[in-house]
Chains A and B, each alone.
Chain A
Amino acid sequence: MAFVLTFLLRRLAQGVIVVFLVSFLIFTLLRLIPGDPVRMMLGTNVSEVTLERKAKELGLRDPIPVQYANYLYNFIQGDLGQSYLLGESGGAAPTAQNKQGGQISAEAEIARDAESKTTRASVFKLIGDGLPYTLQLAGLGLLFTFMVALPLGISGGLKPEKWQARLAFFTGSLLISLPNFWLALVLILLISSNANLLPSIGYKGFAYTLLPAIVLAVELVPVIIRGLSVSIASSTQQGFVDGGIVRGLPWSRIVWRHVIRNASIPMLNMFGVQIGGLLLGGVFVTEYIFDYPGVGKLTIQAVLQRDFPIIQGVAILAAGVLVLVNILVDLVATYIDRRLKY
């Protein structure tokens, strides 16, 4: 038990460092690159004076370290700041209005913000609103992924010279060659508009999650297949497989109890390092194309509009989630293979 505690503490400490590093890098990057968010907020036809006043008000003219310190101070108190552009009751956040597919134009929003300093939406709330949708999409996407990738990957790894391996190989090669945005377009065209089988753009119910989830799964399946077949195949090369045969264990038992158990370690590691990033990236693009009201769409729009607080908030959140996923993965891996403890 002492081990688990030490492990958790050590990893959490490392994780906190990583999250801070991410927040700092993103923060600095956002402020170093050209492009003035205030100009974006207020439009092109406001005077320099107004512009400067607004910038000062937002703290954008302070030195970067000061800005970062202020940000951190608020962050520790649980405040991720407010969106520069989105209002409390509108914008790209998935409000009732937005769920019906309508979108308020950014110009209108900026205009409103400029004339009256209405309450701007808190980043925390914006992310909170989008998160359930994103989780639903990611969960469904992973479910589809495993349904396809597990049987293909495992059988491909167990029979490296047979048709199973070839099937896994060609499926993987084909799927990894499909750009997600193009696939999304074609699916919208074929399944949504031509055949009218599934709805796509926007969100008006669970069915709207299906097509994006399929696109997401197509992106993940080849990665999992490849990882699985390699780790299963290398697991069957280990001494205990031959050892099991000469010791009289039934083949099925060797495979299900031992081969898969040992193959799960590299799989878990891959999941921690790669899938987290892939899944996030995939979710973002998919949401953007399908106009799906999750965190991904929020982020991409924020980036395009230079809405710094949202970008920072999402980056920190993403880093935090990935750090936690990795800790969990390592904990499970250590439970399965005790050697990792040493």
Chain B
Amino acid sequence: MTEPILQVRNICVDLVRPGQTRPVLRDISFDLVERQALGIIGESGSGKTVLSRIVIGAVNPPLKVTKGEVLYRGRDLLAMDRTEIQRLRGREFGYIGNNPGSALDPTVPVGQQIVEKLRSVEPGISRDEAVRRILALMGAVRLPRPEARFHEFPFQYSGGMMQRALIVDALVTNPAFLIADNVTQPLDVTIAAQIIRLMHELRKDFRTAVIFVSSSLAVVREIADDIIVLNEGEIVERSTPERIISAPGHDYSKRLIERIPRIWTTEAKQAPRPVDTQKAMLRVDDVYKTYRVADPNKFFGHNKVEAVRGVSFEVMAGENFGIVGESGCGKSTLSRLLSWVEEPDRGTIYFEDADIAKMNRRKLLGLRCRFQLLLQDPYNAMPPHMPVGRTIAEPLYIHGTHNRKEVRERVLAVMNEVGLPSSLYENLLVGLSAGQRQRINLARALVLEPHLLILDETLSALDQVEQSRLLEIFERLQAQHGFTYIFISHDLAMVRRACTRIAVMYLGKIVELADNQTVFFNPGHPYTKALLSAVPTIEPRRYDAKECLLEGEPPSPINIPSGCSFKPRCPLAVERCWAEEPALLDRKAGGHSACIWANASEAELRDAAVAARLRRESAADPTPDAVALRA
């Protein structure tokens, strides 16, 4: 056993505010040895972020260390003065936070800021030497075109690229250990999977030990040799990932693992009532939406952001339709179009066979009663200054009900239906939990007794327990009233649980449209596979990310190149994919897929993969549009 580089001994931290003191960490002790990868998992509020900061000695009021020491190679960090510890940070410890977008000064080029840091923690180093080292590392973390990226500003980086730059920043001094606090949390799943893969590889090349902090066991287990489970400021268990998953030693760990959603070992969602396959509740026919943004480099020039490019689908009465995709795929624009806050440039949307565009104001208002949209963010979706009862009643007032008694009765009835205590009627939203807010949001939509509910990332902000409860409410309401749901989400596990039919979007188009089981177990589009391979789970994986997920990020929706838009990241891309953009094709296996290989046999797919790999390896220049920055 090697000597530990970091020893945390009996650390206790309190949160001190006037009039109240609350313990945040209780008697935490652990060691970190060289080259070890230690995972720390805990839910929000478990104190994991405070813990990740205490190991670099950065605890500020109102937090206060009441007991214990943090020994770095035998010296107590908490006893050091400010300059001393400031020099250790940055040189001996690297820290990567969960907010890549704001970690650097937005007004200074990224490379310059890394040079600044390197030279202030290692004063002897020359500028040229610093630049050389940083460029080399930027290549190593596979930032495309390091020389150009060096001079770009933080806002020109996407989240994933920024996280890579911050890894460069942390590793450039060859630190003894690296703390990664929830680094994948703000990223899309395919991008997060790439970052995890990168950190895995870097561990082989650098001698750096890693403390990997996350709220997701599925993510931590990818990278950690050893996992600490943190609950309410206490370490409840320390073990290897395999042992924790197969035989959790503590009740809390057991519950934690039970709550993690499964994808591959659950049944596909079934509709509680038979779906009426004849009656299309909502029909979307070849819808386009393009935004114009000013082009800063041209006289009065504009760039076209093609957000939605020819989307068609039908939602049948009584079904649960899912739309999934990563950020920038056009799903939020689509939800704005579906809810008719914006109108499509082209194409038609029919609600119960009536063209919405042709409706007059009064009819449109009537339509708003029958279909409702629940917004993503329970904190911003409602006006902050109104009491709960008034918020829920607002749609009734808008739609012309003014009898106070009637309004009150209907509001209370619907509050009861979604499980809100009537005592909240006079409360303001301030201080209510995300779950309660989302119920209010739901109640506000239900008070008009709609037939169709569009749920735009409605459950994303909730924890697993609250998510399950709301899903149960949805299911009950569907059984009682025969609702139709459209779930718009990035969360594949939720979609697996909640939807009967699923559309997968990529860069403004539907690339796959099939029933739940087919999408997950026999997808026809390589992007669907890549997406599924990237979802972190604690189950055995069905798809291997090594084969399905290549490097690179989605191209920018500005001036989309011709051909298939997935080609730069596709493990099956051949010559034809640069020439033609495939339409949604019927598949023999069921469903539709927008890929030239939609109906290919296993053998054909294998050949294509080999051909594509040869093609990639022979191409000297990595496809430039793969690295195009996001607007």
Contact = CB atoms under 8 A, between A and B. Distances in A.
Interface of A: 2-3, 6, 9-10, 238-240, 243-251, 253, 257-258, 261-262, 265, 336-339, 341-342
A162 to B, nearest CB: 13
A250 B107 contact: no
B90 A248 contact: yes
B559 to A, nearest CB: 16
B87 to A, nearest CB: 7
Nearest to B175: A248
Contacts of B53: 246
A251 B90 contact: no
* Nearest 8 CB-CB pairings of A with B: A248-B90, A239-B102, A243-B103, A248-B89, A246-B95, A240-B105, A258-B105, A337-B107
A261 B107 contact: yes
Contact of A240 (B104, B155, B297, B299): B104
A104 to B, nearest CB: 54
Interface stretch (B62-70, B115-123, B377-385, B569-577): B115-123
B106 A6 contact: no
A3 B298 CA distance: 7
15 contacts: A2-B298, A6-B298, A239-B99, A240-B104, A240-B105, A245-B86, A246-B95, A247-B90, A248-B88, A248-B91, A253-B120, A257-B116, A262-B106, A337-B106, A339-B106
Contacts, number: 89
A247 B107 contact: no
Given A2-B297, A3-B296, A9-B299, A248 B120 contact: yes
A265 B58 CA distance: 29
Contacts of B91: 248
B512 interface: no
A278 to B, nearest CB: 27
A251 B296 contact: no
A261 B105 contact: yes
B504 to A, nearest CB: 30
A337 B155 CA distance: 10
Contacts of A248: 86-91, 117, 120-121
Contacts of B153: 338-339
A330 B103 CA distance: 26
Nearest to A336: B107
B601 interface: no
Contacts of B161: none
B71 to A, nearest CB: 19
A3 B294 CA distance: 12
A341 to B, nearest CB: 5
A10 B301 CA distance: 12
B102 A238 contact: yes
A101 B121 CA distance: 64
Contacts of A240: 102-106
Contacts of B90: 247-249
A250 B83 contact: yes
A312 to B, nearest CB: 33
Contacts of B121: 248
Interface of B: 53, 56, 58, 82-83, 86-91, 95, 97, 99, 101-108, 116-117, 120-121, 153, 155, 169-170, 296-300
The DSSP consensus for interface residues of chain A is helix
A303 B105 CA distance: 50
Given A246-B53, A246-B56, A251 B86 contact: yes
Given A248-B86, A258-B108, 19 more contacts: A6-B299, A238-B102, A239-B101, A240-B103, A240-B105, A243-B104, A246-B89, A246-B95, A247-B90, A247-B103, A247-B117, A247-B169, A247-B170, A248-B88, A248-B91, A249-B120, A253-B116, A257-B108, A261-B108
A243 B107 contact: no
Nearest to A265: B107
Nearest to B92: A248
A157 B296 CA distance: 34
Nearest to B83: A250
A337 B82 CA distance: 30
Best-buried of B58, B83, B107 by chain A (most CB within 10 Å): B107
A224 to B, nearest CB: 21
Contacts of B116: 249, 253, 257
Contacts of B296: 3, 6, 341-342
B86 to A, nearest CB: 6
A159 to B, nearest CB: 14
A257 B155 CA distance: 18
B250 to A, nearest CB: 31
A250 B120 contact: yes
Given A248-B86, A250-B83, A243 B58 contact: no
Nearest to A248: B90
Contacts of A341: 296
B56 A251 contact: no
- Residue with the highest number of chain B CB atoms closer than 10 Å, among A9, A248, A258, A336: A248
Nearest to B169: A247
B106 to A, nearest CB: 6
Contacts of B106: 240, 262, 337, 339
A265 B120 CA distance: 26
A215 to B, nearest CB: 36
Nearest to A9: B299
Given A6-B298, A339-B106, A246 B58 contact: yes
Given A6-B299, A250-B86, A243 B102 contact: yes
Contacts of A262: 105-107
Contacts of A336: 107
B628 to A, nearest CB: 16
Contacts of B297: 2-3, 6
Contacts of A337: 106-107
Contact of A247 (B89, B99, B102): B89
Nearest to A240: B105
Contacts of B99: 239
A3 B301 CA distance: 11
A10 B299 CA distance: 9
A140 B102 CA distance: 40
Contacts of A3: 296-297
B299 A249 contact: no
B555 to A, nearest CB: 18
Contacts of A244: 105
A339 B102 CA distance: 13
